[in-house]
Structures are given as structure tokens and as C-alpha cells.
Structure 1
Amino acid sequence: MSLSARHIQDFSTASQVEPHWGYADRIVPCTNDPGSCEYLDAVYHGHDLGMYYTGIIWATIGGVLLIWAIGRRFLRTHPAGVQLPYDGEGVDSKKSALQRLPLAASSFARRYLLPDASRAIFGRVTRTQVLTLIVLCGYLTIFTFVGIVYKKWVTPVKKMPGVYNTRTGLGPWSDRIGVIAYALTPLSIMLASRESILSLVTGLPYQSFNFLHRWLGYVIFLQSSLHTIGWCVIEIRLYQPQPSVAVEWIQQLYMIWGVVAMILLLLIVVLSTPWGIRLTGYEAFRKLHYVLAMVYIGACYGHWAELRVFLIPGLIVWFLDRAVRLARTALLHYNFLPSGHMGFASAPSKVTFFDDEINGHVVRLDFDHPHDAWAVGQHFYLTFPESSIWQSHPFTPLSLPIYGADTQRHSYIFRAKKGETRKIAELSAKRLSSTQETKSDAKLNVLLTGPYGEHTVQDLAPETNVLGIAGGTGIAYVLPVLLDIASRPQPRDRKISLIWVVRHRRDIDWVAPELAILKQRCKALRAGIHIYVTRAAEDASHDPTIPTVSEKHSKNACDTEIQVAGSSMSDSSSASVSSALSVHGVAKADLGVDHIHARPDLHAAVGEFVATTVRGATDVFASGPGGMISDLRSIVAGLNRGGDVWRGDERGNVKLTCDDRLEW
């Protein structure tokens, strides 16, 4: 079937067949006219080079990953638990040039590569990711054009005097770009895997590769389209006689599968656009994406089975990813049952429901489950079988893991706007009203898969200053980081702070116990908790006893340092905290934080935090709306000073770690 694609060759005249990996066998010696034989030489030479080039591409990818893994292992800039002396002016006095160089280089790169790239084209992604995409595309472009014989051959058509075929370098080039598209298929699947091999090697969370997965899909679609257009021009225009050649070509089985593959790839691309996702809904898009991708790979196999060396590994990676997910879920939930026997059981969670019809209800889940501790910053995928077993959503535990314990405490908060989370909120509210249970007694079954993601605090140097910035339910990502750091012995110069932006005072109810614990642990530290209430005027309109702040106070809210240790509460703050703590039964005196009724000036807040540090780098941990994350990327980038870091002042080394769940 595949040999019929080569219209020049005639097996009836074959004396020897020469195999070519990934391509149709060639008949040797060539018995055609000299022009046709020279064209076949160019075609097969170009294909053989293309197969070598795909090997070089994959060898380069493997080499980059190997170097990355070695660098992670042996080039750690901060030995864990080691605190270096400094000269009293924020400069580490005993760091060698070899230790300062990677710090200065990363600070310099962060200044220019951390901000968002063109949002209209790429969305909310950093320049680093776009630069990686550009380098990859440039690398692929080189191999697309190198080694092609760019020449024109006009050859006679057998048994048709006066009729000629026009053969050009378009044929070998179209084959080459199609081969590269096949070769990139396993990489695209690896970039989309949740049980990611790339994450194991690089240490980056799997969601960091979503951007490259999406745009590599666009690249594969472009390559496949050019491959298709090229051969359409050849078979419909350059080969003669027409239309008989074109009709014979399109009726072949391998071409029918090629058309099917292109249609499926077009559907995948269209449904992957923001417009397509809005049209189908995210969960429908995800399921369609899986099915269409698998059928597409099957159609590619039918189109050109000789390149199965790229298709079969892609399928293996996908099925391994699904199998490991199921295995991890099974292991997490295969425990002792109340009857004393071993079996599979979901985790019954206590539900706390926070009614907010305008902005979306907020649900808090609390439960204990026997398994090993996760790392702070990691997240779990939660499935609610009482709603649907086919959907799962990523949530970061608000609670801290307990290392060495048999049972772990899980606490989650999420806002229900639409889709599955809205169903869960409605189910929770219905259960509360129908059973007339108290908020602390309502139950909802949960299935866990995970943990996934990065270890946010594992490699922090002891002197690193930490600023947490959260918007709304993003506090679930930031608060555990601060709780974990505050629970350890701290250098006296280390600074820790939290900025949390909420709409209403009652939103503190979500995490009041954890805030109380953080305040208790931070009493002896240089720490501050700042809660910004952005809609205090609405609260005051419903409760006239709650005062609002002046315009001047609102503008200068970030200039007010609220120290947790020994802080006092205003009357309005006391009322709010009392209301918040009553839900969870925590005493009012356990929480001493003030509220600032204004939107924070993040540029001033982050800048002031860095400027008032005594020594060491600053790590900003953030989670919230996309606009806030974009602003923070630009702010943090502007605070990086590679020259100062090279001279030993690490206060010019400011990092940003974001929760990417909002981009999923």
C-alpha cells in the first residue's frame, strides 16, 4: 500500500529491494529515465537524513534533561540548614564566586524573562516559556530545511508522449516536515502527562508544561498542514495526466487515513482554543481531547505505519499515565474498613458551607485519611463520587502534612462558580437543609489522587525572606507555606509576611483556625499579617456599626506595618474576628490581626517588604486572580538586581512562585 505512493517505481522490474527505515522500500537499480532516478535519489537521501535529524532532536532533548538533572543534584546554591555569616550590611561574606555566579545569573535572567509575554497571543505566560518555544521552533525549522535538494526535474510520463511530470524539492521537503510532526507526537503527550517523567527529571510541576503542550500541538498542526498542502500541489498539479493521477492518489487507503488524521487534528486544535473550551465546557473538552487524540494517533498509524516508532511510544506514555493515576488512587483508598477488613473506601469529609450567592458559594472540607505526608505546596485531585466519578479537580491542602504520622489531616476550601464545583456546593447546601444537620456534621465523600506539584519550601535557604500574597481562596496555597516556615527555628533577621485580599470581613471564616495558629507561631518573629477587605463599604451598608477608613488611609494602607506580635485590634476588627472564629470554635484572643479596608498597592507592598529586609533573598509565594499574578511578575522582575547579587547582596535576588491552578 505504501509503495503505491511512489508512482515512479515499478516492482515488476525490480531486481533488488533496498529498505529505508520509516519509508517505502526502494527498487534498485533504478530503471527509469535519468531525471526520475535523480529525483528518487534526492527523495530517499532527504528522508534518510530526516530520520537521522529526528534522532538528533530527541538526543538534544535527552541531553538537556540530563544536564538539568545533574545541575539540580550538584549545583544547589543553598546547602540545606547552612547559614552563612554576613558583614552587617546584608552582604554574605563567605560566598565564593562560584556560588554567587548562578544566583546573579538567575536574578539577571528573572528581571527580563519573568514578566508576561504578549498576552493577546500567548495568554498569561512568562517570557521564559515563550523563549523556550521560540528556541524549539527555531531548532525544528533548521532541521526542516537542511539537507533537501532544491532542484527541478521535468520527466516524461511513460507511454504518453508529450506529457511530462514536474518533480521538485517540494516532495522531499513535504516528507521531512511530516516525519518531524510524527517525531514530536511522543513529546507532546509527555508534556501533557500528569504523572510526568519531565517533572521527575526537572523538578518542575507538570502544569508548567501545559503551555508547551498546547503550542507544540499548534506546531504539529502547522507541520501536518504544510505536509498535506505540499503533496496536494504535487499530486493535483505537478504530476500528469490530470485528473486521473489525483483521483488514483486520493483513493488509496493510506491517503484516506491521512485525510481522517487531518480532520481529527483540526478538531483537536479548534476545540483546544479558548473559544472551543467555552463552547463545550472544560470537562467536555478534556474528554473529547483524550478520545480525539487517541483516534488521531490511530489514523496516523493507518496513514504511514512505517513511522510507528514514534506513535507507539506516545500511546505507551499515555496509557502509563492513566494506569499510574488509577493505581495511586487505589493505594490511597485501600485501607482498613470499619468492619476490620481491608478494602477500598472513600474519605468522608465534614462540610462547612459559606453562603455567597453573588460571588459564588465557598465550601470547606475537613477530613482525616491514612497515608504518608505530602510536601508543602503540592496538591491533590479530588473526585466527588456522589456527584460524578468522571471529573476531578486540583486543590491544594490548607492543612500541613505531619511527617511520620499514620493519618493526615486534609482541609480544602474552594469557591463554587460553575461546573462540578457548583454541583458540589449545591449538593452540600441541599444535604444541610434536608438532613437538618449542623455545619460541622454534614458529610461528603471524597476520592484523592496525588500528591502532585512542586516542593515549595524544600530548598529555601534559612535566611530567605518569605512574602505570601493571596487573593480569595488562593490563601489555601500561601498559608501552608507560611505555617510550615513559622513552625521551624528561625534566624533573627528573617522576615515573614502575609498579604491576603478578600471581598468581605466574613471571608476570614474560611481559614480562621489556621490564621490563629500562624499568629501564635509568629509571636517571636519579624512577621506581619495584612488582610485587605476590598468591599468594606458593602459590609458597612448592611451593618452601620462597622466604620470604614478614610480615603487617605486607603491610599496609604500599605505603609502601615501591622506586626502580629503585640498587635491590637480595633472594635470593627474585633467584631469581625469574633464572627469568623465562632464558626470553628476558636477563641477570639487567639487571633490578633487587623483589617485594612482598601485594595493593596502590590508594587509598594512588595517593594517595601524587600527594602526592609536585613539580608538574604526574598521568595514571594502567590495565588489569586490572573491579573494579580501578572502584576506580581512585573513587580518581582523589576526588583531583581543581578549586579548586587554578584557583589554578595542577595537582597537583589527576588523570586516568585505561583499557584498555576487558575491556568488549568
Structure 2
Amino acid sequence: MGASHVSLLQPRHIQNFSEDSELEPHWGYAYRQVPCTNDPGSCAYLDVVYESHDRGMIYMGIFWLTIFGILLAWGLARRIFPAREPVDDLIAQLSQRQGEQPEPSKGSFLSRSWRALASSTRHYLLPNSVRAIFGHTTRLQVLILVVLTSYLTIWSFVGIVYGRWVTPIKGQPEHVVNTRTSLGPWADRVGVLAYALTPLSVLFASRESLLSMITGVPYTSFMFLHRWTGYIILAQSLLHTLGWVLVEGWLYQPQPKVWNGWVEQDYAIWGFVALTLLLMIWIFSFPWVIRNVTGYEFFRKAHYVLAMVYIGALIGHWEQLQCFLVPGIVLWVVDRLARYVRMGMLHFGYLRDTGRWGFAAAKAEAKFWKDEKHGDVVRLDWHHQQSPWKIGQHFFLCFTEGSIWQSHPFTPLSLPVSDEIGRVKHSYIFRAKGGETKKIAKVIAEKLAEQDKAVTPTTSVILQGAYGENTVEGLTQDINVLCVAGGTGITYVLPVLLRLVREKVNPNRKVELIWAVKRRQDMEWVGPELEELRRLGAAHNLVIRIFVTAEEDSESESESSLPGKESKTGNDAGSVQSVSSSGSSMRQTQRPDVAVSVNEFIGGVAQGSSRVFGSGPPSMIGELRSAVAQCNSGSKVFKGEERFDVRLVCDDRLEW
């Protein structure tokens, strides 16, 4: 018997490999001795073990084929029906292929049916679900998780013969017996499932996401599934370990001889090591631990390292199943390399200062607003030689004056348009509450204190991106637009509005911005952009409503300081409204009521569907989801009332 065969047989001592017999290979498992030379009970048990494992491997093949099938169908649908607007184009092309002529007023039956289905789906599945457990996630995400969990639960139990076999032990009294049950085969099955889910978990976590390339869904939308897939893997690993601890430490005899002999084996040791690493990953991922103990950057780096060491420990535990693990490692390595390639493409080029080719960071001009109560605010502006990104996408910024090992996601507030020499302007705003952003804000404040105030301070920035979805895809001129932002969330919605006011005017279109800020001074962050919206927005019936939420100044003082102030009502085109009050009444009126604002906007729509853009605190986004969901009505959309077809596009980086 060769050494390789011996290594495959060591973990299964129930078989007597000293006998003259053949070895039967089983994919992902130990070789089996045929014919079986054990007692009848043990042979029957081995039949169940190997048959259930073989079926389990087939089921895992079906599991992955199902995933590939869904992705293939999704990818083909996106290319066969390249939608400018996900509903309209798909229906229009289907209608043309069927020779249908849409009705001029309400649209074709197929178009109305599709829109009604989409609206009904948003009505029931858009709101947050069970926040105490799932956080700020939609019912749709929870539904996908339930379907995945149910699917895995079925594969955990089917194809196993459940029974109990009591077998004698050579050299032991008759009352000392082994009790063999289907607990062992079942524990093996959930272990195989944990292995099979590993590359899927890596796929969900990839920034350079293959899933996003195929489906068009931004990688951030998969983070929820990455986290909960990890929880499922942890539960499976615990059940797998518990099952075999009961088998080897209780059902098999004599004890403690069997337990001691089993726990000393390399594969058992590596199994406990892998479980320990998985528990560490789980503990370090707790929001409380990240906020109060490790910090986000330590968590991120430790997560990478522990995950890769965990996969290595899994190979040490059961190398026959590395067919599931090697792809996970490859996907992770490809993701990391692709990030560096992106960064190199943005920063490697001809350096005019030195006359050579090389890598250079961008030089950003910085503006600083002191705010000791809520956190200082920094604005960065610079021009960069590159292709324009898509509105709604974000970049990861690394501030070299802080740490080259950290990067953070930021959405540009500038419109991605190339100038005459191929440069695109980058503008960002961030509030320095702690960590790297606070460090950079301090550096900029020190530069302002030390140098001439007439000189704008600069800082070096390394870009990585762009990532995320094109939020204005399919945003035609007949779609009404409501933008809701809180604080620095204005960066997510400003490019949308800047694009709209530069487009052809549609007098029937309704456009509105609702922005909640802490102080009147905060409007200076985007002063030039607000001025452009005020100047061009009047022709587009743009209404801008700015709520000052944390100042007790009188309303008249607040209004007089607003840039481009034209009306106190906020109902006139191009107007800017500030809502603020003093005394006790301020606590009642200081924040915009998201639900009321959305309902008022949709109620005032004359024609066409609407798209709501939102970015701000998680609580605000949760309210926005519920409000938009309530405004959707599939039955009314089917009857041709398009204003009840309301789509929400929000910043989904809430869970980062």
C-alpha cells in the first residue's frame, strides 16, 4: 500500500486495512476497503457513511450548478435586454418581439404587468426587516437569506439512511460495544456543506466582484450575504464538531481510550484549530468589538489574515475537500491583485515634474470647517487624468500623511465630466469623527495654523476605484426625482442634481432636494454646487429645502444667511428653504419628517414615475425605505397611474 493511500486511510480506523483487499476511491473522502471484512453491523454502517457522503458531493454539485445557472441566466438577460431603465427597456423589447403595440396612455399589458410586479415587490420587500437581528437590511435581503438557508437545510438531511447499529469490539467484554448511528454521516454532511460554502463567502466579500460583473448589482449589496453565510458556516462547523465529539467521546468504546486516540490525530487537531479561528473571526466581527476594542482597520486586516489561515487549517483537517477551498484562495488573491492593478492604472504615468514615468499620488487642495461638537469637516478638491466614472460610484481614498495601510470609501460630489485635456475633477467631503479621518483633519488644521492663510493647504491622496453602481442609469427626463440627504450624505445626491439641471428642461417633471444639516455654516461645504443648482434649477422647477437641525438661532437669522435665498416657503422654483426654530419648539421641527416629505412629493407628481435618491444615517434610510414602500402600489400602476411606481436608490454602504 502506497504512502499516499495510507494518508487517505488514517482517519478511518473502523476498517481493517491489514487484510488483503482492494481500495475503492470516493471523491472528497477516505478510500474504502472492499469487500468489507468487518462485522455485519459495521459493514452496514459503512455503507450508510459512504453512500451519504457520495450523495452529499452530488448535492453540492447541484448546489453550485444552481448558482451558476442563476448567474448565467441573469447575465444573459442583461445582455439580451440591455436596459437603460430596468423595467421600460425590457418590456419595450419584449413587446416589439411579440408584435404588440403599446397603448399611448397606459402602455402595453405586458409593460403594465411588469411595472406592477416591480412596484408590488418594492411595496412588500423594501422596508427594513427585524432590525434587532439583521440590522438595516431590507425584507428582500432577508428573504434571499431564508431561501438560501432553507436550501442548505434540505441538503443537510436528504439522502441519509437514519439508523442505529450496535457492534461488538474485539478483545472487549460483550457488554462493551460500539453504538454507530447516522449522527456521524450527518455530521460529515454539514461539514461538506461548510467547505462548499467557503468560496461563495469569498465571492460575496470581493470588491472586484465577479458577481457584480455578471449581475450589475454593486458588491456592497452582497456584504449582508457574506456576513450571514459566515454565520451559517460557523453553525455548520459547530454542529460538525459536536457530532463527532459525541461519536468519538461517547458512542464509541472503550473510553477514554478511543477519545484519546482520536483527538491526537493531525486531522482532528487541525479541525479544532480551524474552529478556533472561525470563532475568532466571528467575535472580531461584532460591531461592539470593532467600535470599542479593535477599531475598523485592525478588524479588516485581521479578518483577511484569519480567513486565509482558517482555509489553510481546513486543508490540514481534510485535504480531500480542497476542491472547494483552493478556488476560495484563488478568488481572494485575484481580488487583491485587481485592486492594486486599478490603483496603478490611476496613478502610474508620465510625471512632468521629473520627466519620467512613475507612480505619483494626487495632490488635493483642502478646506477645513471646525466643529468641536459634531466633528470637523474637510473638503478635498483636485483634478486627475482619467476616464470619468459613473454617477453614484465611489472611490477608496488612502491619505499618505496618515497611513498607507488604510483606505476609506468616499463618494465624489463632483460631476464626472472630462475637461479639454482629459482631466476629471474630484471633490469629497468627510466628517472627522475618529480614526484616519480625524488624523487627516488634524494634519490639515495644523497646516492652516502654520502657513499663510492665503495659501490653500494640500494633502496627498491615493485613489482606488471606481466601485459601485451607476445610480442614474435609465433616469430619463420623464422620471421625477426626489433627493434626501443627511449631513455629508449630500455628496451622494449632488451629482444627480447637477446632471439634471444641465439637461434639457421638462416643465412637467418634479425635482426636489431635502437636506438636513447640523449648522447653517455646513452649507458652505458645497457652496459652489448649491449656487449652480440655484442658478440653473429654476428652469427645472427645482425645489431645495434645507433643514438646520442643531442650532437654536431664530428662523429669520437662519434664512438670511442662506446662499441664493429667494423664498421662505420653499415652494417656488429654485428656492431654498431652511427649517429651524428656537426654544422648545425646535425639538419638534428640527428634523425633516421623511415619510411626510416623500408622501407630499409623490402626491404632487402630475405624471410619470419617480426615483428617490437617499443618503444619510441608517435610521433615516430605514424611514426612507418604509416611506417609499408605502407609496408603491402594483394595482394602481397596472391601471396606468405611474406616480405609484416609485424606485429607491440609496447609499448601501451603511453596513461597512
**Would the TM-score normalized by the shorter structure come out above 0.5?**
yes
Matches within 5 A, 1:542-561: 546=557, 560-561=569-570
Distance, in Å, in 1 between the alignment partners of 2:18 and 2:165 is 24
Q: Once the 2 structures are TM-superposed, how far is the Cα of residue 432 of structure 1 from its aligned partner?
A: 1.4
For the residue of structure 2 that corresponds to 1:221, the secondary structure is helix
Matches within 5 A, 1:100-119: 100-119=112-131
- CA separation of 1:404 and 1:64: change in aligned 2, threshold 3 A: farther
Distance, in Å, in 2 between the alignment partners of 1:267 and 1:153 is 37
Q: Once the 2 structures are TM-superposed, how far is the Cα of residue 403 of structure 1 from its aligned partner?
A: 4.9
- CA separation of 1:41 and 1:547: change in aligned 2, threshold 3 A: closer
Equivalent position amino acid for 2:648 in 1:
L
- Render the CA deviation track for 1:442-467: whole Å, top value 9, x for unaligned: 01000000000000002223311110
- Render the CA deviation track for 1:349-389: whole Å, top value 9, x for unaligned: 00000110110000000001101000000000000111100
Q: Once the 2 structures are TM-superposed, how far is the Cα of residue 326 of structure 1 from its aligned partner?
A: 0.5
Equivalent position amino acid for 1:424 in 2:
I
Distance, in Å, in 2 between the alignment partners of 1:378 and 1:516 is 24
* Structure 2 residue corresponding to 1:562, chosen from 571, 583, 586: 571
Q: Once the 2 structures are TM-superposed, how far is the Cα of residue 105 of structure 1 from its aligned partner?
A: 0.7
Q: Give the corresponding residue for 1:443.
A: 458
For the residue of structure 2 that corresponds to 1:270, the secondary structure is helix
TM-score, normalization: structure 1?
A: 0.90
Find out whether 1:275 has 2:284 as its counterpart. Answer: no
- CA separation of 1:466 and 1:214: change in aligned 2, threshold 3 A: same
- Render the CA deviation track for 1:228-278: whole Å, top value 9, x for unaligned: 000000000011111111000000011110010010001011111122212
Q: Give the corresponding residue for 1:30.
A: 36
Find out whether 1:653 has 2:641 as its counterpart. Answer: no
For the residue of structure 2 that corresponds to 1:124, the secondary structure is coil
Matches within 5 A, 1:280-359: 280-337=294-351, 338-359=353-374
- Render the CA deviation track for 1:116-144: whole Å, top value 9, x for unaligned: 11111111111111111000000000000
Q: Give the corresponding residue for 2:429.
A: 413
Q: Which has the higher contact order (CA 8 A, sep 6+)?
A: 1
* Structure 1 residue corresponding to 2:443, chosen from 410, 427, 437: 427
- CA separation of 1:152 and 1:411: change in aligned 2, threshold 3 A: same
Distance, in Å, in 2 between the alignment partners of 1:309 and 1:340 is 49
TM-score, normalization: structure 2?
A: 0.91
Equivalent position amino acid for 1:433 in 2:
A
Check whether the contact 2:480–2:608 (CA below 8 A) recurs between aligned residues: yes
Q: Once the 2 structures are TM-superposed, how far is the Cα of residue 6 of structure 1 from its aligned partner?
A: 1.4
For the residue of structure 2 that corresponds to 1:445, the secondary structure is strand
Equivalent position amino acid for 1:101 in 2:
S
Q: Once the 2 structures are TM-superposed, how far is the Cα of residue 2 of structure 1 from its aligned partner?
A: 4.3
Check whether the contact 1:79–1:461 (CA below 8 A) recurs between aligned residues: no
- CA separation of 1:569 and 1:560: change in aligned 2, threshold 3 A: closer
Q: Give the corresponding residue for 2:619.
A: 627
Structure 2's unaligned 5+ residue stretches are 1-6, 93-102, 561-566, 582-587
Check whether the contact 1:14–1:27 (CA below 8 A) recurs between aligned residues: no
Distance, in Å, in 2 between the alignment partners of 1:448 and 1:526 is 36
Aligned residues: 618
Q: Once the 2 structures are TM-superposed, how far is the Cα of residue 655 of structure 1 from its aligned partner?
A: 1.2
- Render the CA deviation track for 1:521-562: whole Å, top value 9, x for unaligned: 22211221111111341x45xxx982689xxxxxxxx99443
For the residue of structure 2 that corresponds to 1:497, the secondary structure is strand
Q: Give the corresponding residue for 1:555.
A: none
Matches within 5 A, 1:57-68: 57-68=63-74
* Structure 2 residue corresponding to 1:506, chosen from 518, 521, 543: 521
Matches within 5 A, 1:368-387: 368-387=383-402
For the residue of structure 2 that corresponds to 1:466, the secondary structure is strand
Q: Once the 2 structures are TM-superposed, how far is the Cα of residue 4 of structure 1 from its aligned partner?
A: 2.2
Find out whether 1:135 has 2:150 as its counterpart. Answer: no
Q: Give the corresponding residue for 1:240.
A: 253
Q: Once the 2 structures are TM-superposed, how far is the Cα of residue 425 of structure 1 from its aligned partner?
A: 0.5
Q: Once the 2 structures are TM-superposed, how far is the Cα of residue 67 of structure 1 from its aligned partner?
A: 2.2
Q: Which 10-residue stretch deviates more, 406-415 or 604-613? A: 604-613
Equivalent position amino acid for 2:47 in 1:
D
- Render the CA deviation track for 1:600-630: whole Å, top value 9, x for unaligned: 2222211111111121111110001111111
RMSD: 2.2
- CA separation of 1:230 and 1:357: change in aligned 2, threshold 3 A: same
Distance, in Å, in 2 between the alignment partners of 1:598 and 1:308 is 58
- Render the CA deviation track for 1:399-419: whole Å, top value 9, x for unaligned: 011158611100000000011
Q: Give the corresponding residue for 1:20.
A: 26
Equivalent position amino acid for 2:643 in 1:
R
Q: Give the corresponding residue for 1:583.
A: none
Distance, in Å, in 2 between the alignment partners of 1:497 and 1:569 is 11
Distance, in Å, in 1 between the alignment partners of 2:247 and 2:620 is 52
- CA separation of 1:490 and 1:546: change in aligned 2, threshold 3 A: closer
Equivalent position amino acid for 1:45 in 2:
E
Q: Give the corresponding residue for 2:45.
A: 39
Q: Once the 2 structures are TM-superposed, how far is the Cα of residue 160 of structure 1 from its aligned partner?
A: 2.3
* Structure 2 residue corresponding to 1:164, chosen from 166, 171, 177: 177
- CA separation of 1:529 and 1:293: change in aligned 2, threshold 3 A: same
Equivalent position amino acid for 1:62 in 2:
F
Distance, in Å, in 1 between the alignment partners of 2:495 and 2:223 is 25
Equivalent position amino acid for 1:373 in 2:
P
- CA separation of 1:528 and 1:329: change in aligned 2, threshold 3 A: same
Distance, in Å, in 2 between the alignment partners of 1:66 and 1:376 is 27
- CA separation of 1:563 and 1:302: change in aligned 2, threshold 3 A: same
Q: Give the corresponding residue for 1:229.
A: 242
Q: Once the 2 structures are TM-superposed, how far is the Cα of residue 37 of structure 1 from its aligned partner?
A: 0.7
Distance, in Å, in 1 between the alignment partners of 2:568 and 2:241 is 62
Q: Give the corresponding residue for 2:266.
A: 253
Check whether the contact 1:2–1:254 (CA below 8 A) recurs between aligned residues: no
Distance, in Å, in 2 between the alignment partners of 1:79 and 1:168 is 57
Check whether the contact 1:529–1:563 (CA below 8 A) recurs between aligned residues: no
Q: Once the 2 structures are TM-superposed, how far is the Cα of residue 468 of structure 1 from its aligned partner?
A: 0.4
Q: Once the 2 structures are TM-superposed, how far is the Cα of residue 489 of structure 1 from its aligned partner?
A: 1.7
Q: Once the 2 structures are TM-superposed, how far is the Cα of residue 311 of structure 1 from its aligned partner?
A: 0.5
Structure 1's unaligned 5+ residue stretches are 83-90, 550-557, 574-595
Check whether the contact 2:375–2:432 (CA below 8 A) recurs between aligned residues: yes
Distance, in Å, in 2 between the alignment partners of 1:249 and 1:142 is 30
Distance, in Å, in 1 between the alignment partners of 2:589 and 2:547 is 6
Q: Once the 2 structures are TM-superposed, how far is the Cα of residue 161 of structure 1 from its aligned partner?
A: 3.9
- CA separation of 1:115 and 1:568: change in aligned 2, threshold 3 A: closer
For the residue of structure 2 that corresponds to 1:128, the secondary structure is helix
Check whether the contact 2:568–2:576 (CA below 8 A) recurs between aligned residues: no
Distance, in Å, in 2 between the alignment partners of 1:623 and 1:598 is 18
For the residue of structure 2 that corresponds to 1:10, the secondary structure is coil
* Structure 2 residue corresponding to 1:617, chosen from 593, 609, 618: 609
Q: Give the corresponding residue for 1:576.
A: none
